[in-house]
Amino acid sequence: MRIARTIEDLADMQAGALVPTMGALHAGHLDLVRIARGIAGTGAGRRPVIVSVFVNPTQFDDRADFARYPRDLARDAALAAQAGADAVFAPAVDVVYPPGADVPIGPIPDCAAGRGLEDEHRPGHFEGVCQVVRRLFVLTRCVSAVFGEKDWQQLQAVRAMSANERLGVSIIPGPTVREPDGLALSSRNVHLTPEERERARSLSRALRLAGAAETVADAERVLIETMREAGVGVNYATVRDAETLERLPASATPGDLDRPARALVAGRLGVVRLLDNMPWPISAG
Ligand code: AMP
């Protein structure tokens, strides 16, 4: 396992698959590493899997969130190695953004603007995400990159960006890994108090309940009510086109849809913002 800090440290290593993370690795990240290992091969012709660990300052609109973000590189490197990574790339800020170099921040794809989702609740977030992802693609020279479905709007944004800008990187989705009670794993969950942790179950519960609703409007009502009853401050709770993230008609039933739809929620519990999403509808069984 190599720990690379600089561009020179990666000079002889081109990523067959990159897993971009901000560290504080949990089982969700490690699943993405295993997916990357599968893509990059395990036998002859195996190509490197690189896990990047970089808490990107340009995607944080909240300085306190940036400051308290958990950091432990030795632990992350050991976990990444166990899951099959060949290298951890943990650059300093001035390696990603060299002083004086103009690392472009725009453009961002349509699905990452004007949607009333993360784009609205974290102004400037996707500009920062697109900026760092483009830069990590260049630095690791990756041919594919694995992103979690947990951050659904981010996954769609990166996919659209890679296609629109012909970056030549295949974007591979990884399913959301959850706690036994349904809570999606997140590095920020460590900041939940025991009482908030209990309330946090309401996001996945809301998504499952809404999955059986008959219309988009009913689903959105169920999402909001379930989260509010649990004391979650709702940022958004909505059913959208899964790829463009455009609104759907309130009266639309599952049978009216000719493209996949996705239910997405975000809310606040204390200092923690929680996100989750699931397909809509969810078929019984
Ligand atoms: P982060 O370190 O939180 O920026 O996340 C790095 C990558 O891990 C992103 O592609 C996330 O979507 C993904 N990820 C975060 N949480 C989970 C989870 N519970 N299951 C699967 N992937 C996840």
Render pLDDT for 24-78 as a digit per residue (tens, 0 to 9). Answer: 999 999 999 999 999 999 989 999 999 999 999 888 888 888 888 878 999 999 9
Nearest one of 214, 138, 150 to 185, comparing CA atoms: 150
The set of protein residues with a Cβ atom below 6 angstroms from ligand 1 is 21-22, 28-29, 31-32, 147-148, 150-151, 174, 176-177, 184-187
| Spatial separation of the C-alpha atoms in residues 144 and 130, rounded to whole Å | 16
Q: Which pTM value belongs to this model? A: 0.96
Q: How confident is the model at residue 285 (pLDDT cuts 50, 70, 90)?
A: low
**What spacing in Å lies between the alpha carbon of 182 and ligand 1's midpoint?**
15
Which of 19, 21, 129, 179 to probe ligand 1 with, by most ligand atoms within 8 A of CB?
Answer: 21
What number does the ligand 1 atom closest to the CA of 29 have?
Answer: 8
**What spacing in Å lies between the alpha carbon of 29 and ligand 1's midpoint?**
6
Q: For residue 258, how many other CB atoms are within 10 A of its CB? A: 5
Minimal-distance CA residue to ligand 1 atom 18: 28
Q: How confident is the model at residue 169 (pLDDT cuts 50, 70, 90)?
A: very high
What pLDDT shows up at residue 283? Answer: 81
Residue 206 pLDDT > 90 = yes
| Spatial separation of the C-alpha atoms in residues 142 and 170, rounded to whole Å | 9
Of the two residues 83 and 284, the one the predictor is more confident about is 83
Nearest one of 65, 63, 80 to 4, comparing CA atoms: 80
What pLDDT shows up at residue 14? Answer: 95
What pLDDT shows up at residue 69? Answer: 82
**What spacing in Å lies between the alpha carbon of 18 and ligand 1's midpoint?**
13
Residue 97 pLDDT > 90 = yes
Structure tokens at 70: 């958990």
Minimal-distance CA residue to ligand 1 atom 22: 148
Q: Is 87 helix (H, G, I), strand (E, B) or coil?
A: strand
Q: For residue 231, how many other CB atoms are within 10 A of its CB? A: 13
Q: How confident is the model at residue 102 (pLDDT cuts 50, 70, 90)?
A: confident
In one-letter notation, the amino acid at residue 241 is: D
| Spatial separation of the C-alpha atoms in residues 59 and 57, rounded to whole Å | 6
What pLDDT shows up at residue 68? Answer: 82
What pLDDT shows up at residue 180? Answer: 97
Residue 212 and residue 281 in contact, taking contact as beta carbons nearer than 8 Å: yes
Mean pLDDT value across the chain? 95
What number does the ligand 1 atom closest to the CA of 175 have?
Answer: 21
Catalytic residue list contains 29: yes
Q: How far is CA 241 from CA 175, 189, 219, 262, in A?
A: 18, 28, 14, 6
pLDDT per residue as tens digits for the range 210-268: 999 999 999 999 999 999 999 999 999 999 999 999 999 999 999 999 999 999 999 99
Weakest-pLDDT range from 69-73, 84-88, 159-163, 267-271: 69-73
Q: What percent of the chain has pLDDT over 70?
A: 99
Q: Which residue of the set 26, 29, 121, 191 is catalytic? A: 29
Which of 53, 68, 122, 151 to probe ligand 1 with, by most ligand atoms within 8 A of CB?
Answer: 151
